[in-house]
Amino acid sequence: MATSNASSPFSSTFYLTGIPGYEEFHHWISIPFCLLYLVGVTGNCTILHIVRTDPRLHEPMYYFLAMLSLTDMGMSLPPVISLFRVLWSISREIQFNISVVQMFLIHTFSFTESSVLLAMALDRYVAICHPLRYATILTPKLIAKIGIAALLRSAIPLIPLLVRLAFFPFCHSHVLSHSYCLHQDIIRLACADTKFNVIYGMVVITMLWGLDSLGILVSYAFILHSVLTIASHEGRLKALNTCASHICAVLILYVPMIGLSIVHRFAKHSSPFIHIFMAHIYLMVPPVLNPVIYSVKTKQIRQGILHLFLSPKISSTLM
């Protein structure tokens, strides 16, 4: 599994890691992961179906929610495929070209999800601070442009990082620390000067996640200022309640992401189990919890789910 000689990246084979020390229980460990993934896919597909079929949900807020569901599924699918290949003892090997595609998809959808959360924060800002202009500002055409821009903004900066990997020889151990491929995990195996990848990677993270989080904070600063000008207590609570689901979605993405970054940067010699645990929380928890949160906290989504799974007569009595 390891090689002491430098090898061409295109002929390199890497080895994924399951749950160290629990190899004999991998088949059993796969059951909760499988259930989590099924719950996430079911929840996100349900939201997409409801937003598409219910005319009442053809509004900017729900279009952005549909984008969030798509990015959630896009972010979780690539790592889940390789995770189950490891846990079900199919194969731990992954070729270099496949690992590059997997890295590109994981990082692209991670950055895209952050961009979508920024767009949703701007949506709440316009809805609360400029309610009379809400429909005229956030038109379907503008929303489509925002979605395309979020995807391109997330994908294009990754190309130089991944292209440079093709020129790195890999002469260290080819064993990765996760059951899927991350850029920071691959470059630590290269026996070459990776300074450009490290610095450029930090710049990309700062420019994308950093600016997104700053934009979200600024949006909520304006929202809070506007809410405090509302005279009635009930009005203030109602305005803030429309932001509760989005705030939860932001925390669900950013807290595990920051935790994983801290572990990679400052706890390199900690238990491998911690690295693997944080990595799977980062990629699998948001797709599972986001549909649940929006279903519980958003009345229109809850009504749509009840109408979908129950008869109209029963759902009307529950709503």
The band of 7, judged by pLDDT with boundaries at 50, 70 and 90, is low
pLDDT for the residue 276: 79
18: confidence class by pLDDT, cuts 50, 70, 90 = confident
- Across all residues in the chain, what is the average pLDDT? 86
Task: Reply yes or no on whether the pLDDT at 186 is more than 70.
Answer: yes
pLDDT at 264: 67
Distance CA 139, CA 111 (A): 24
Q: Label residue 159 by pLDDT band (50, 70, 90).
A: very high
Long-range contacts at 46-53 (CB < 8 A, ≥ 24 apart): 46/291, 46/305, 46/308, 47/291, 47/294, 47/295, 47/301, 49/308, 50/301, 50/304, 50/305, 50/308, 51/304
Q: Which residue has the higher pLDDT, 9 or 96?
A: 96
**Which of the residue ranges 1-10, 65-74, 145-154, 163-172 would you say has the lowest mean pLDDT?**
1-10
Given pLDDT bands bounded at 50, 70 and 90, which one contains residue 235? confident
Q: How far apart are CA 42 and CA 290, in angstroms?
A: 12
pLDDT band at 274 (very low <50, low <70, confident <90, very high): confident
| Average confidence (pLDDT) over 33-58 | 92
Question: What pLDDT is attached to residue 2?
Answer: 42
88-110 average pLDDT score: 91
Please tell me the predicted confidence (pLDDT) of residue 171.
78
Distances (CA, A) of 84 to 81, 129, 258, 302: 6, 46, 25, 32
Burial of residue 33, with CB atoms counted within 10 A of its CB: 0-12 exposed, 13-18 middle, 19 or more buried:
middle
CA–CA dist 83, 79 (Å, integer): 6
Query: Sorting pLDDT into bands at 50, 70 and 90, what band is 6?
Result: low
- Tell me the domain boundaries of the chain: 24-301
Q: How does pLDDT run across 47-90, given as a tens digit for each residue?
A: 999 999 988 899 999 999 999 999 999 999 999 999 999 999 88
How do residues 217-233 score in pLDDT, each as one tens digit? Answer: 999 999 999 988 887 88
CATH architecture of the domain formed by 24-301: Up-down Bundle (1.20)
Q: Whole-prediction pTM value? A: 0.89
Mean pLDDT along residues 110-121: 95
What pLDDT sits at residue 141?
Answer: 94
Question: Is residue 148's pLDDT more than 90?
Answer: yes
Give the separation between CA 221 and CA 169, rounded to whole angstroms. Answer: 48
